[in-house]
Structure 1
Amino acid sequence: MKILVATSNRKKLRELMDILSPYGFELELPEETLEVEETGTTFLENAYLKARAYYQRYRLPTLAEDSGLVVPSLGGYPGIYSSRFHSIDFGGVEHGKDPDRANIKKLLRLMENVEDRRAYYYACVVLYIGDGGVFAEGRCEGAISREEKGSYGFGYDPVFIPEGYNKTMAELPPEEKNRISHRRRALTRLLEVLRWK
């Protein structure tokens, strides 16, 4: 089954391919990136907006996901603002050419004196087909480290320690990360909804 992935993030596409390819899905990137305004107040709403917009443009079954890091001691931030956390005025703005680095720098600064370092990665995936779609959610529990470690992955991986590990997500090889990730859990549930497994 050929599916369009509503993203321009090649690292995210690689992760999705690693997880879904064994089930016979053929994933492809769109010819051009659409500017979809993420006006939703939840991960589900934003994933749905992206999936619907790309489906309406290309008329192919479209997979979209919205994901991020949730830190309860920060009131749930970065949350749906995870990719642009550095630029929103929550405890100051961080500047830099690399958004991932700026996001991490801001997160560590805000948590410098915070004892409760619990956090979780959250993902919501939407497969839009025709006049509607199906969705599924996944979580990966963990905590925020006090310093960056590791070179794998992307986003907040260098400071996220998955539950049951003493390494950050960025210190885990891709195949291990993909086995425990929030995306894997969301996609596994999606396959169950579709009765693909």
Structure 2
Amino acid sequence: MIDKVLVATTNKGKLKEFKQLLSKYGIQVLSLEDMPEKFEVEEDKETFLENAIKKAREYAQFYKIPVIAEDAGLEVKALNGYPGVYSARFYDIEFGGKQPLEENKDKANIKKLLRLMEGVEDREARFVSVVVFYNPEDFGLWTEGYCYGKITDKPIGDKGFGYDPIFVPEGYLVTMAQLTPEEKNKISHRGKAVRKLVEKLQKLL
């Protein structure tokens, strides 16, 4: 089994979740911050899978270490699937008009999304996570996970990150940002994708 893997992200919230999900398997998680040489891969593809594959392959070839890369985001039905692959920088794209960056990107993204959802009855949405494992010497594989729910009309909760404060998962009366990390990992798109990935790896290694 692999004992060490680079999780190709600088997002602290994402990294924390990957460490929690992988620690039980005895896998040491390194982040891009831990790498001596700095190298950046641009996410310029049109799907979560293409972005994740590009990141995993390029970081693995550069650092010569197994890499897990993820592209994830929120798809809102009433917005034709937006923010989608633009989830991290939704505030700054032309669709729906740009949102001023007052405090931080997460808050600007949420403000813009809630502005576009004002008066909209259909609040259905889903979180999507596509996780790619790439071993530079050997093979690559990928999995995906989904978490379905609804968009609230205001942010609630201070846990998690990203769009968590405005997303109520199916079967729950609280937002993702009100759940403990353990509760969130059980139902989250990322938790589902990572568990599937580990199952696949255990069969292969």
Q: TM-score range by the shorter chain?
A: over 0.9
Which amino acid counterpart does residue 57 of structure 1 have in structure 2? F
What residue in structure 2 maps to residue 123 of structure 1? Answer: 129
Deviations 1:81-107 (A, max 9, x none): 000000001111101140000000000
Percent of aligned pairs sharing the same letter:
54
- Count matched residues: 197
Deviations 1:136-192 (A, max 9, x none): 000000000011100000000000000000100001111111111100100111122
Which amino acid counterpart does residue 28 of structure 1 have in structure 2? L
Structure 1 outlier segments of 4+, above 2 Å: 32-35
What residue in structure 2 maps to residue 183 of structure 1? Answer: 190
What residue in structure 2 maps to residue 4 of structure 1? Answer: 6
Matches within 5 A, 1:1-197: 1-30=3-32, 31=35, 32-96=37-101, 97-130=103-136, 132-195=139-202
State the alpha-carbon separation in 2 of the partners of residues 132 and 81 from structure 1.
28
CA contact (8 A) 1:8 1:33 kept: no
Which amino acid counterpart does residue 89 of structure 2 have in structure 1? R
Return the TM-score normalized by structure 2: 0.92
CA RMSD in angstroms, aligned pairs only? 1.4
State the alpha-carbon separation in 1 of the partners of residues 164 and 39 from structure 2.
26
| Structure 2 gaps, min length 5 | none
Return the TM-score normalized by structure 1: 0.96
| Structure 1 gaps, min length 5 | none
